[in-house]
A = this chain, B = another copy of it.
């Protein structure tokens, strides 16, 4: 077989006397064009490796813009714009954009301040750390990030996971210093992990947390978080630090003597208020500001109530004193050895991957709404660097928050300047307004958290999964129950396992089907799906719907032999014409490995012994190449590989006719 053959040969010039015993008879048939199956252009191993690596690591060809630039200065500018998107939109920035950004920035600040304090509590960290984390990271992101609508700060899932993973080993109450050190170190590693995913262009790793997995995971986490907030809502003092369903529920009911009615009344009152505003905003997206303003309103209102009743209600626990001032440096609190080092790395990687997934998904969502593109790998670097910087300035792990980004988008944010405005509002709060939060009751934080996480329980999407893809639903369920009953990392691992198992199952047990001809056309299609498709007498046309690998070669061999056996039984039962030729449609066989090649050889050999012809139709480029390299192509000969099923049927059946005419 020649390489790069672009000849179009007709039947007469194409083949030898072996195939056409009676050339005249064959010539009497209407001449059908037979196209040669080409090998792909020859490449060296190095070229192939280069192509493969560029597909794996640079699928989006990130430097394509540089191809068209000639001068050094232009390339420098492009490079600056590449690494700091602010250089891209900065020069075009104007007052109209600023006005929009100020409005949206202040709106998300009003949400970020109460949420920051609440989420820090969720991570068992001092509330002030939540505010610190809403100041430095947004500033860094506004320089590096490519999403215009991402509102950066602490988020519920990452806070919860960090809190649960760390407090299973170290008590935040008994060893607050160690706990804080651990949190910052974990944040540092989360950042390093995120940035290296971006730099090494391994961003596809987060794709393995499929949407189905995340759906289940977030719902499970939301259930646990909401139940944990019963501590605050009921005013319980002694509460488990564990994350599973059983210890949380037992904590709730074993400390019934600690329930405080004042707390319960206030908590459920504000919870109903918050949920109602959320409901209104969801029904009418234009009224998004109602739910956006509700948390700060609740905090101010409840603080006022507690302040006024401070002499009468000692049963409501309050935040207490918060230090005024900017983020203190914390790089001296990072540690890189010792017995807790492993825990910090593990927590960092898991919170890192989860917060990255959320950040990227949020960025993509709003980018798609506004029809611009977000570069995943660059986002990872931005988020990673902002967490590294955060870990050195008393911040814990942050990312783009879905709820705040939605508010940001709805409030009309145009660029990342809204993050700068938000950070400035937090700065003012940190410098001057901290005493205001002294009397803020903890119960209000619990209510805010519940309102925030309840939206993560998306049973309608789960229902849709069940309808469309049962195995996706299974992955969703396993991460839900895994998180609820086992633990966060194991729940995630199980769900990823189910997702990978699904891929492997599809490869291990691929679909095979019998094709038939749609009369009057050259189209061959699944017999069981197209009723008009007809079997071609003497032929069995099989399509294999998967690459042929070590993992399925044995199965495919058995299955193909079973199709042949069943076809022969059918022929006997219906008195049809003898089976002479099996055509394997290789269109969907996108790859083959050495076990697959052995399988093809083996089947060819077995069928040869039974005087059945085996031909291949439309093997793909890499498959052809491997068949040739392994010399398996030789056993088929020139006449054993066709470009389409139609040409194979046409050519071989005209050959049979010629043989039949020649014999008598």
In the complex, whether A79 has a CB less than 8 A from a CB of chain B is no
Q: Mark A464-484, 1 if CB is under 8 A from B, else 0.
A: 110111111000000000000
Q: Is the CB of B528 within 8 A of A594?
A: no
Q: Which of A125-133, A333-341, A384-392, A499-507 contacts B (4 or more CB under 8 A)?
A: A499-507
In the complex, whether A547 has a CB less than 8 A from a CB of chain B is yes
The answer to whether residues A204 and B549 also contact, given A61-B562, A503-B507, A593-B469 and a CB cut-off of 8 A, is no
Q: Which of A529-578 touch B at CB < 8 Å?
A: 529-532, 545-547, 549-555, 558-559, 561-562, 565
Q: Which of A299-307, A319-327, A451-459, A584-592 contacts B (4 or more CB under 8 A)?
A: A584-592
Q: Is the CB of A620 within 8 A of B545?
A: yes
Q: In the complex, what distance in Å separates the CA atom of A521 from the CA atom of B643?
A: 12
Closest CB of chain B to A213's CB: distance in Å?
8
In the complex, whether A598 has a CB less than 8 A from a CB of chain B is yes
Q: Is the CB of B545 within 8 A of A590?
A: yes
Q: Which of A112-120, A265-273, A602-610 contacts B (4 or more CB under 8 A)?
A: A602-610
Residues of B within 8 A of A605 (CB): 368
In the complex, whether A38 has a CB less than 8 A from a CB of chain B is yes
Q: Mark A273-305, 1 if CB is under 8 A from B, else 0.
A: 000000000000000000000000000000000
Q: Which of B59, B213, B371 contacts A509 (CB 8 A)?
A: B59
Q: Which of A84-142 touch B at CB < 8 Å?
A: none
Q: Is the CB of B468 within 8 A of A594?
A: yes
Q: Is the CB of B35 within 8 A of A523?
A: yes
Candidate in A467, A507, A561, A590 with the most chain B CB atoms within 10 angstroms:
A590
Q: In the complex, what distance in Å separates the CA atom of A621 from the CA atom of B545?
A: 11
In the complex, whether A33 has a CB less than 8 A from a CB of chain B is yes
In the complex, whether A247 has a CB less than 8 A from a CB of chain B is no
Q: Which of B471, B550, B559, B629 contacts A467 (CB 8 A)?
A: B629
Closest to A45 in B: B470
Residues of B within 8 A of A505 (CB): 56
Q: Is the CB of B211 within 8 A of A594?
A: yes
Q: Is the CB of A56 within 8 A of B606?
A: no
Q: Which of B35, B507, B550 contacts A211 (CB 8 A)?
A: B550
Q: In the complex, what distance in Å separates the CA atom of A61 from the CA atom of B373?
A: 51
Closest to A609 in B: B371
In the complex, whether A15 has a CB less than 8 A from a CB of chain B is no
Q: Is the CB of A511 within 8 A of B212?
A: no
In the complex, whether A240 has a CB less than 8 A from a CB of chain B is no
Residues of B within 8 A of A518 (CB): 8, 35
Q: Mark A313-353, 1 if CB is under 8 A from B, else 0.
A: 00000000000000000000000000000000000000000
Q: Is the CB of A207 within 8 A of B555?
A: yes
The answer to whether residues A41 and B529 also contact, given A35-B523, A469-B594 and a CB cut-off of 8 A, is yes
The answer to whether residues A4 and B467 also contact, given A503-B549, A550-B212, A620-B545 and a CB cut-off of 8 A, is no
In the complex, whether A508 has a CB less than 8 A from a CB of chain B is yes
Residues of B within 8 A of A549 (CB): 210, 502-503
Q: In the complex, what distance in Å separates the CA atom of A630 from the CA atom of B469?
A: 9
Residues of B within 8 A of A550 (CB): 207-208, 210-213, 499
In the complex, whether A522 has a CB less than 8 A from a CB of chain B is yes
Q: In the complex, what distance in Å separates the CA atom of A565 from the CA atom of B68?
A: 14
Q: Mark A19-44, 1 if CB is under 8 A from B, else 0.
A: 00000000000000101001111000
Closest to A461 in B: B594
Residues of B within 8 A of A558 (CB): 59-60
In the complex, whether A649 has a CB less than 8 A from a CB of chain B is no
In the complex, whether A644 has a CB less than 8 A from a CB of chain B is yes
In the complex, whether A520 has a CB less than 8 A from a CB of chain B is yes
Q: Mark A184-218, 1 if CB is under 8 A from B, else 0.
A: 00000000000000000000100110111100000
In the complex, whether A6 has a CB less than 8 A from a CB of chain B is yes
Q: Is the CB of B6 within 8 A of A551?
A: no
Q: Is the CB of B531 within 8 A of A4?
A: yes
Q: Is the CB of A546 within 8 A of B590?
A: yes
Q: Is the CB of A529 within 8 A of B465?
A: no
Closest CB of chain B to A374's CB: distance in Å?
11
Closest to A511 in B: B590
In the complex, whether A242 has a CB less than 8 A from a CB of chain B is no
Candidate in A6, A8, A502, A529 with the most chain B CB atoms within 10 angstroms:
A529
Q: Is the CB of A503 within 8 A of B551?
A: yes
Q: Is the CB of B591 within 8 A of A588?
A: no
Closest to A508 in B: B204
Q: Is the CB of B523 within 8 A of A472?
A: no
Q: In the complex, what distance in Å separates the CA atom of A8 from the CA atom of B534?
A: 14
Closest CB of chain B to A39's CB: distance in Å?
8
Q: Is the CB of B33 within 8 A of A509?
A: no
The answer to whether residues A526 and B208 also contact, given A469-B626, A590-B510, A606-B371 and a CB cut-off of 8 A, is no
Closest CB of chain B to A461's CB: distance in Å?
9
The answer to whether residues A630 and B468 also contact, given A210-B550, A376-B554, A523-B35 and a CB cut-off of 8 A, is yes
Q: Which of B211, B373, B530, B562 contacts A59 (CB 8 A)?
A: B562
Closest to A68 in B: B569
Residues of B within 8 A of A639 (CB): none
Q: Is the CB of A554 within 8 A of B588?
A: no
Closest CB of chain B to A570's CB: distance in Å?
13
Candidate in A35, A594, A629 with the most chain B CB atoms within 10 angstroms:
A594
In the complex, whether A597 has a CB less than 8 A from a CB of chain B is yes
Candidate in A41, A470, A502, A530 with the most chain B CB atoms within 10 angstroms:
A530
Candidate in A469, A502, A518, A528 with the most chain B CB atoms within 10 angstroms:
A469
Closest CB of chain B to A498's CB: distance in Å?
11
Other than the known A41-B529, A55-B509, A210-B593, what 20 A-B pairs have Cβ atoms closer than 8 Å?
Answer: A6-B530, A35-B521, A38-B529, A38-B531, A45-B470, A59-B562, A60-B559, A204-B554, A207-B551, A207-B555, A210-B595, A212-B593, A464-B630, A472-B593, A499-B550, A499-B551, A510-B590, A511-B622, A523-B644, A546-B590
Q: Give 12 CB contacts A-B under 8 Å.
A: A33-B521, A40-B529, A45-B470, A59-B558, A207-B554, A212-B595, A472-B593, A500-B500, A503-B551, A522-B522, A523-B644, A587-B587
